[in-house]
Amino acid sequence: MTAALESRVGGLPATELALAEGLVGRRLNPLEVGMFVAMWSEHCAYKHSRNLLATLSSEGSRVLVGPGENAGALDIGDGWAVVFKVESHNHPSAVEPYQGAATGVGGIVRDIFTMGARPIALLNALRFGPQLPAEDPSGQTDAAAAARNRWLFGGVVAGIAGYGNCLGIPDVGGELVFDPSYSGNPLVNAMCVGLARHDDLVRARAAGAGNALMLVGSATGRDGIQGASFASVNLAGDDAADRPAVQVGNPFLEKLLLEACLALVGNPDVVAMQDLGAAGLTCALAEVTARGGCGADVDLDVVPVREAGMNPYEVLLSESQERMLLVVRAGGEEPVAAAFDRFGLHATVIGRLRDEPMLRGRWHGEVVCELPPAALTDLAPRYSPPAEPPADLAARRTRDLTALAGAPATADDLLRLLASPNVRSRQSIWRRYDHMNGTRTVVAPGSDAALLRVEGTTRALALALDGPGRQAGLDPWQAAAAAVVEGALNVTALGATPIGITNCLNFGSPEDRVGFWQLREAVAGMAAACAALQLPIVSGNVSLYNQTTTGPILPAPVIGTVGLIENRSNRLAPTWLAGQQIWLLGGGTDDAAGLAGSEHAYLAAEDGGQPTIDLPAAARLIDLVPELVAGRIVTGAHDLARGGLAVAAVRMALASGIGMNIDLPSGSLPVAAAFGEAPGRLLVAVDPERAAYLESGCRTAAIRARQLGVAGGDAIQIGAIRVDLEAARSTWERGF
């Protein structure tokens, strides 16, 4: 690696070096130290999060593959499996936004097709600093910071579009958040979803002494060396020094690799597949052999390279994209290589498996590394450092928001909220992505979730990717739980039953007491919500050290949710018809607590309060909605997240082209009722003659249900708020 990057990444701490040498039983050479640096980085080893993640449940009747493989898989009936995962590419995107985002897409796509699944959808969760100083009520963002944020934003969106569109995979949804804490450290979380037959699922588990290790795809270059280690340190703002750690993508080559790998699905000669992502060949070799309890002899000098003079360190630790490692049965090498040759791809036997659990690499016949695979993977150290909440948290939580909550809710309040970057339409971004690739998309971006058909069946998959807003700075436990609930409600709002989740946990340094406390609390909140909703967590990613010299990011536990509709003709839409009744379902609070961490409170420069969540009530609502859909009792729905009741009502009105006249819940505080963001609520449309069935079903399920008003006309009337429908549309649809 370059001297500049080496000074940033460094070597192993003395205690870890001693541990590694104790496991190996001798002094390590510089190449082996580099392998441990990468594999024991936070990005690969999950040193601070593995113990916490062990508390999460991945069990369920639909679970086919849980955590530990490249992606998770759930049974969706008739021999079909949905395969999905979300991962981060935050640090690379902070340095080279286009390539960082593009290779993030490429990496998550490989995680899916390496399982033998065809990728059918992409989603992304993006977070940036404010784009203009005027969009930051806190006053933390100056003109230079805003300009850099705009550069990061533009590059990331272009990178996602450039890579995903070329692959022919539709980008169908996600989320976008702006906050000053993400200035200089954007978050780029990419989720991919695929479909496979049960019998075609491929594992990344080596087996069979004498079987071949075949490296396929692109040649290996010097890009991305020690990228995993770079992703495990705080950003210092030196882009030039960090650029060698950023990979460079080629989506056209990845498309060829995708088709070549899928053409081999079901081929008995292919024993296992493993993506080459973080830590490159080192990680792929170590993980497939460790999972299989075996070892390998590898000839590093036969690896196809694209730059002259590359050495073993560079070959083993390069993170060049569009590469896969296959375990191929002895004797099947030629036909497998021929399958890749048809696509013009490298397919080179670089070694063989052996029973002895030792990973041995040679360079021109000389052994240059000899390490037990488990030492690089399973035996990495685990840390549970001291944890404590921020010193000012108690004071912030007890801040009284009653005056704000009880103020009159005005049309100016609503229009300001609709125009805010965290609420306004994302259409100008979605236009950059091709969301109709593959012709499976039934519901495109713009709804609570996307919907894709499972061809050959009546089923459809509802997909959402969500995270909390500023509530995470007040209560990471509640925020993570709320993110799980929001994801479930988003797929439920289309009429789907949530069946499983994936997660991406984005936090600051775990070595800081506050940072580790936030991570620990968020994992506990996520676990509690998944238990309440009976949702298995089958895959995920942890991204730590997301902070710059100005401090850590606002915690962002991002949740990817998959829902299933047995008959897609029963799906809901976020719309209503003139004359339909509008009901609010769910037990969220209408008092000041609902404003804690809300967008309205942020725009009013009010930071504080204690968010709350009622998990049992949310679970009952999520269970009930599919029954209401099956009985054709409700025809449209929208969850109440960013912006609260008023924004949800406006979005349904705009989607329908029909206004409404609704009252705020009786006895509520006006601003809290209109703009509070308490989780666990849905706005639904129902025909008047079906309202009694709705009320009865909610009563039986112990769910709070309130009729607010009626749809109709060309104006938006919410309590005392009155706004012309087209004025709301022009405000909400302003671009970025």
292, 209 contact by CB (below 8 A): no
**Bridge partner list, 506:** 543, 556
**Bridge partner list, 71:** none
d(CA 649, CA 663): 11
Local structure of residue 54 (DSSP, 8 states): T
Residues 6+ apart with CB under 8 A from 242: 5, 8, 91, 95, 230, 235
Q: What is the DSSP string of 604-623?
A: TT---------HHHHHHHHH
680, 575 contact by CB (below 8 A): no
Q: Identify the CA nearest to 447 among candidates 78, 106, 123.
A: 123
Local structure of residue 680 (DSSP, 8 states): S
How many Cβ atoms from other residues are within 10 Å of residue 150's Cβ? 16
Catalytic residue among 48, 89, 91, 600: 89
> Following CA atoms 628, 631, 636, 642 in sequence, which dihedral angle do they give, to the nearest 10 degrees?
10
435 is catalytic: no
Distance of CA 677 to the CA centre of its chain: 22
d(CA 237, CA 224): 18
Question: φ and ψ at 67, to 5 degrees?
Answer: -60, 150
d(CA 46, CA 68): 12
Catalytic residue among 43, 91, 346, 638: 43
**Bridge partner list, 297:** 352, 360
Strands 187-197 and 295-299: unpaired
Local structure of residue 663 (DSSP, 8 states): P
> Following CA atoms 111, 115, 116, 121 in sequence, which dihedral angle do they give, to the nearest 10 degrees?
-40
Handedness of CA 120, 125, 131, 135 (dihedral sign): positive
483, 442 contact by CB (below 8 A): no
Distance of CA 708 to the CA centre of its chain: 35
43 is catalytic: yes
d(CA 725, CA 43): 48
Handedness of CA 411, 414, 416, 419 (dihedral sign): negative
Q: Which two tokens stand for residue 464?
A: 């959402």
287, 247 contact by CB (below 8 A): no
100, 93 contact by CB (below 8 A): yes
Map tokens 């998990």 to a residue: 615
Catalytic residue list: 43, 89
